[in-house]
Chain A
């Protein structure tokens, strides 16, 4: 793991990127043709540092047992590690209580948990029941995982599904916010940082309006929690979903955080072991949070791995990571702007945006851009990035997306820019 990061050269970054990169063994991989790997797909999934890989191996090698039901020593060790990860994650996002951290399999499940429990009609408090006349508000820049669950919930309950549109600059169009979020609005579910545009949204303004009308606010932090300091108490939202694998943790683990009062008000989601208080054939009662929402054997090793990921990120420092990505993003925007025919889809300056840059290259389909970049060892994502409505909004079939993280170097941005130039020559 990195010790105190030294001041780096270039890109105004506070991180010693070369030292950080040594923590991620995969970054040394050579691809076919002995090309070095230039990994610019961290918004898709991040790479993992040795500390996380070791934590996973150590758990399976030394402590493996099921949690919360074994009286033996391994069971106690596994339970302590699993619950210890909950403590770390609560502290990491500024949650007032560890019991407000629910482990899920990913962010999609966390979002579905909220949509499904609100739609189930099982809550005692009508605030947590969707029905005809109620309204659900999302934004046009959501990932499909924050659109489809709500469309389904609307179909089940008769609630109305609405959305905040986008400006030409790739930001939320808040001009009609007062009408869109109104006393009929039961929940506003929005992305903190867009996975396709890179936009960091103005949560405060939306939250203020939602509070006026008493609507719940759910934040999709999948692309923000890994990249900038996020404190749920300071933000003031009601619920937040995020995922482990995008924040140097393993796949198979996500998190739903919610204010205690809200989580208590929502009915159970999945039924099964561990989520109950008592079960009788005539009916069952349920465990208090967080276990109420954790039916069955949870992703134990993955939670332990996510705890190690959080330790790693904290040791490097989230402020530093954010500043580094800001510098890298500014550098990348400048490089991409300088290429004829390249158009940025989303905010084209580094202000209020993260290190995820979507772009198009005139006359060349993103699939071809991505394929030829791959031939040069540059890994990007192409397509609609599970945010098809954004592509429709900007009249494009797809984009090429380069996304950065704490280990992204200016050399890699140079490789991207050179790669795009090569793409243009190849198809020119």
Chain B
């Protein structure tokens, strides 16, 4: 059995997602699609100054993409934007590390369960989908919150 891909933690997040559903209020949102498989996710970010007050999301896709969004919500809600971006960068590095990077549990929490996904190039995009959407939404929120959100909803 391929334990290195479908870790128990991933299946847990997939079956019992944390923080799923789009919530108000929010400062910006981003909708990302993986064109090769049709997975999609919408991520909303609510900020209070430097603080990420809420990350809410809704999407459809495989266990990897959905579990990854659940982990993202858990890790980043309540942190500062700077810390959130550091975690995001660490997760991206792990995913692009071809399975050669030893993940830091202090930074990535349940995200370390995705270490095995990095060995499956076809699935890396699934794991990164929500993280890319988060990064995008946050950039919009920090830049010009109202305009970015309006544009996205159009």
Binding site for B on A (CB under 8 A): 365-368, 371-372, 375, 382-384, 388, 391, 397-398, 426-427
With A388-B38, A398-B38 given, is the CB distance from A375 to B1 under 8 Å?
A: yes
Please determine whether A367 and B5 come into contact, CB atoms closer than 8 angstroms. no
| Residue B101, interface by CB 8 Å | no
| Residue B146, interface by CB 8 Å | no
A383: B residues at CB distance < 8 A: 36-38
Pairs A–B under 8 Å by Cβ, sample size 16? A365-B61, A365-B62, A365-B63, A367-B63, A367-B64, A367-B126, A368-B64, A375-B1, A375-B2, A383-B37, A383-B38, A388-B38, A391-B38, A397-B39, A397-B40, A398-B38
Give Cα A426 to B11, complex, Å.
9
B14: A residues at CB distance < 8 A: 427
A363 to chain B, nearest CB (A): 10
Give which listed residue, B2, B37, B64, contacts A397 with CB less than 8 A. B37
B62: A residues at CB distance < 8 A: 365-368
Give which listed residue, A371, A397, A398, contacts B5 with CB less than 8 A. A371
| Residue B23, interface by CB 8 Å | no
A388: B residues at CB distance < 8 A: 38
Please determine whether B63 and A397 come into contact, CB atoms closer than 8 angstroms. no
| Residue B135, interface by CB 8 Å | no
Q: Quick one: closest A residue to B38, CB to CB?
A: A397
Q: A371-B5, A371-B6, A426-B6 are in contact. List 6 more A-B contacts (CB 8 A).
A: A365-B60, A366-B37, A367-B62, A367-B63, A371-B2, A397-B60
Give which listed residue, A367, A397, A427, contacts B11 with CB less than 8 A. A427
Where chain A touches its partner, the secondary structure class is: helix
Give Cα A427 to B1, complex, Å.
13
Interface contact tally, CB-CB below 8 A: 48
B61: A residues at CB distance < 8 A: 365, 367, 397
| Residue B13, interface by CB 8 Å | no
A365: B residues at CB distance < 8 A: 39, 60-63
Please determine whether B37 and A382 come into contact, CB atoms closer than 8 angstroms. yes
Interface size class of B (residues with CB under 8 A): 20 to 34
Q: Quick one: closest B residue to A388, CB to CB?
A: B38
A391: B residues at CB distance < 8 A: 38
With A365-B62, A397-B60, A427-B11 given, is the CB distance from A371 to B123 under 8 Å?
A: yes
- List CB contacts (< 8 Å) of B7-23 with chain A: 11, 14-15
3 cross-chain pairs, A with B, having the tightest CB-CB distances, nearest first: A367-B62, A397-B38, A365-B62
Give Cα A371 to B126, complex, Å.
13
A372: B residues at CB distance < 8 A: 2, 6
Query: Which one of A375, A388, A397 has the highest number of Cβ atoms from chain B below 10 Å of its Cβ?
Result: A397
Q: Quick one: closest A residue to B39, CB to CB?
A: A397
A373 to chain B, nearest CB (A): 11
Give which listed residue, A367, A375, A397, A427, contacts B123 with CB less than 8 A. A367
A371: B residues at CB distance < 8 A: 2, 5-6, 120, 123
B48 to chain A, nearest CB (A): 35
**Bitwise interface map of B from 91 to 126 toward A, beta carbon under 8 Å scored 1, else 0:** 000000000000000000000000000001001001
Q: Quick one: closest A residue to B66, CB to CB?
A: A365
Give Cα A426 to B36, complex, Å.
24
B126: A residues at CB distance < 8 A: 367
Give Cα A375 to B2, complex, Å.
6
Give Cα A398 to B40, complex, Å.
12
Please determine whether A398 and B37 come into contact, CB atoms closer than 8 angstroms. yes
Query: Which one of A372, A388, A391 has the highest number of Cβ atoms from chain B below 10 Å of its Cβ?
Result: A372
B39: A residues at CB distance < 8 A: 365, 367, 397
A427: B residues at CB distance < 8 A: 11, 14-15, 63
- List CB contacts (< 8 Å) of B62-100 with chain A: 62-64
B5: A residues at CB distance < 8 A: 371
Q: Quick one: closest B residue to A391, CB to CB?
A: B38
Give Cα A398 to B34, complex, Å.
12
Give Cα A365 to B41, complex, Å.
14
A367: B residues at CB distance < 8 A: 37, 39, 61-64, 123, 126
Give which listed residue, A375, A384, A426, contacts B38 with CB less than 8 A. A384
Q: Quick one: closest B residue to A383, CB to CB?
A: B37
B125 to chain A, nearest CB (A): 10
Give Cα A366 to B37, complex, Å.
9
